[in-house]
A and B are shown apart, each in its own frame.
Chain A
Amino acid sequence: MAADAMDTALGLLGHLPEGSLVIIKDSLAASGSFLLHHYISRLLAAPKAEKQTPTSIDVRTEKSTAFDGRVGKVPCKVCLVAFDQKFSHFANVGRKQGVNLVANAEEGALRFVDGISKPFEWGGVLPRSTPCGAVETSESLESFLEGGLQELSITGEPQSVRSASPSAPQGVVKQIETSLGAVSDLSDQSEAEAKQNKRAPLADGGLAIVFDDLGGPEAACQGSAHEVLALLNWCRTLRSQNGERASVVALVHGNDMPDGEKGLASIMEHSADLILQVEPLSTGAAADIHGQLLITQRTNKWMDHLRKGIGGFEATKLPRQQKFQFRLLETGVKLLHIGGSKGGA
């Protein structure tokens, strides 16, 4: 499967549609983290989506040149909220895929929120007298809006935030606040360096917020899926400098919970525009094929985004669901049609 066709299947036609939610659902036997790396690398290199695309051939030509170099293009800003891996992990994997995340962070195109270094301070293991979430949350949210978002150069919608997340986890917000403090130092440093180097700041494109593990916010919310959902909805209401609403890509572990417990993944699915389900092979682990990927375009908004991006006759026969097998490489991922033998990175 060609790389362009794979990006089309994942909705990577330029930017993600604004305000969209992409849920990556994986399991213990097959990790879906490779899709995060793919989204991050593509979004950081993606150009602004063209409004009118006469044919699919034109789009692909445009996109392939855009991925080769970012000169003259408007890339998307990415805010990576990590609860599972450190920045060095993402940087190392990105480097193998040809994307320099360190340089992107210095330029301000990538913002990293560290949710793993000190989760103890926000993750709920507090003395019983002060359980997590008992503190009034609106103040924290406001301070998060005032402090964090300014540093991120994003304009938010305070009213919709309050209505969307009345009980958003105070611990998570506090952790994000702390992490954004570190990011602000980095952004200040990069601005100073940019002045020194007389480097023009990047023109603002879209904004994508990537969560590498929703289990972190879930633990901070003490299992309240509605609060996690409120957090994601709040993220979707943020706006970048050009007024586009942020899109969210989130990884959630989707193993079926025993005893009939409704897992976080099943609740998230109902709000998602695109669901990417990563499953192991039913025949067991193999060295050549690492699993299979079920892509479900859930909403009409997402379908319109794809049709607009592809254009032409092909757009009229887009399937709602597609299933592929995948092979992971250090340099990327190969999606293979089930039963086919050829694939492309």
Chain B
Amino acid sequence: MSQAVAHAQPLLYASTHPLPADFLTRLPVVTEKREEDAKEAPAASGVQEGQSGLRIAWQYQRYLDEQKALEERRTRQREATASATASTDEAMPSLHSSFSRPTVRSAFKASSRPEAPPPLDFCSSFDLRKQLGKEVLRLDTVHHHSIADLPALHAQCQDFVERLRPNRDVGRIVVHGLGQIPWEDPAEDWRYLALLRSLKGLVRTHPASVALVTLPTGSLPPGFLMRAQHVADTVLETQAVDEDDKELAAMFSYYGEIQGLLHVHKLALVNTQVPFIPEATSVAVSIVRRKRLTLEKMHIAPAFDDDVQEAGAGGSRAAVSAVACVGPKNAPSVLDF
């Protein structure tokens, strides 16, 4: 959502909260350019412009040129990949952080001129300490509604995607906390499921649109949740970590920095039948320097292996080999496979 505001792209936010605008005002702004980046930029430009600032041997100049060309090519690929991914189907913007980089301008500069979007790089780096504030509500590109009933929500979404300008806009629909108010009538399950299917149909029909729906797993019927996951193209789950969970804490050396876990249950499969296999289906969400939300692969601390080895020393070493090397259970030694 912050990305949509930063790039002046259309955004529809619908929530069960009576005042959905409150959530919008708390969106983070784009991170300011770091000082070290600012220092690196003129240094690099000095290298490009003239030889005076160059202190390395002249024969290495060609390596600099190749590096520069390679960097430009990667930047173009990132932008192309980002636009293609965003226009396919339901996806989570936070997943795009792997090919993002910090941007220069703040979101308010973008908000002052929504008709002419500033030339921002594609970014997913936002400062959690700063919030957009009420100025975001004055943007023409941002719409917010409170979910009264499902037909009205669908009508709003349909109206939103039909107003998208072709080859220019990438519409983002965010439905926050769908089904937050629990229901008792089982027929409601099918009404909500039909809404999800209709949303899927909308984003399929209008290719430059994305829909992100969050569901509270605690209050919804399990059967509905299972069916809803099958309807969605991409299924992600966030999980909070308990500070007192010693078993989990023993597995990670940086457990204190982890804010939660993000599990990838399903990824979109469009125009291909070969699924994308991610390196890890669970990543740790942590906040760096109290302002930047990052996704990191989980690494098991070496101490955890030692603990297992010590525990297995009393009984059999099979447990160690099974955990570390996936060796046979009856292996007489750790080194036997």
Contact = CB atoms under 8 A, between A and B. Distances in A.
Interface string A123-155: 111110001000000000000000000000000
Contacts of A286: 277
Interface residues of B, number: 38
A255 B230 contact: yes
B272 interface: yes
Contact of A28 (B151, B223, B235, B278): B235
A213 B233 CA distance: 13
Most buried by A among B198, B266, B272: B198
Interface in B273-296: 273-275, 277-278, 281
B240 interface: no
Interface in A3-28: 28
Contacts of B271: 88-89, 92-93
A258 B223 contact: yes
Residue picked from A118, A119, A255, A329, most chain B C-beta under 10 Å: A119
Q: Which of A88, A92, A127, A285 has the most CB of B within 10 A?
A: A285
B223 A259 contact: yes
A34 B191 contact: no
A86 B191 CA distance: 22
Contacts of B270: 85, 89
A186 interface: no
A219 to B, nearest CB: 5
Interface string A309-330: 0000000000000000000111
A123 B197 CA distance: 8
Contact of A328 (B158, B235, B274): B274
B187 interface: yes
Contacts of B303: none
Contacts of A83: 197
Contacts of A29: 265-266
Nearest to B264: A285
Contacts of A344: none
A215 B227 contact: yes
Nearest to A30: B275
A57 to B, nearest CB: 31
Contact of B194 (A88, A93, A124, A258): A124
Contacts of B230: 28, 213, 215, 253, 255
B277 A127 contact: no
Contact of B195 (A34, A116, A120, A220): A120
A92 B275 CA distance: 15
Contacts, number: 112
A125 B273 contact: no
B151 A116 contact: no
A285 B266 CA distance: 11
A285 B226 contact: no
Given A28-B235, A125-B150, A120 B226 contact: no
B71 to A, nearest CB: 29
Contacts of A37: 273
B273 A216 contact: no
A118 B274 CA distance: 27
A236 interface: no
A257 B278 CA distance: 26
B231 interface: yes
Contacts of A119: 194, 197-198, 200-201
Contacts of A127: 151
Contacts of A220: 194
A89 B231 CA distance: 16
Contact of B204 (A86, A126, A222): A86
A131 B187 contact: yes
A9 to B, nearest CB: 18
B269 A31 contact: yes
Interface centre among A83, A88, A93, A125 (most CB of B within 10 A): A125
A92 B270 CA distance: 9
Contact of A118 (B189, B190, B201, B227): B201
A123 B194 contact: yes
Interface string A25-52: 0001101011001000000000000000
A213 B274 CA distance: 18
A215 B231 contact: yes
Contacts of A259: 222-223
8 contacts: A96-B272, A119-B197, A120-B158, A125-B194, A219-B194, A257-B223, A290-B275, A330-B274
Interface of B: 150-151, 154, 158, 186-187, 189-191, 193-195, 197-198, 200-201, 204-205, 222-223, 226-227, 229-231, 235, 265-266, 269-275, 277-278, 281
9 cross-chain pairs, A with B, having the tightest CB-CB distances, nearest first:
A123-B194, A120-B198, A258-B222, A125-B194, A124-B194, A92-B271, A222-B190, A34-B273, A253-B230
Given A120-B154, A123-B194, A258-B223, 17 more contacts: A28-B266, A29-B266, A92-B271, A118-B198, A118-B201, A119-B198, A219-B193, A253-B230, A255-B226, A255-B230, A257-B226, A259-B223, A261-B223, A285-B281, A290-B274, A290-B277, A328-B275
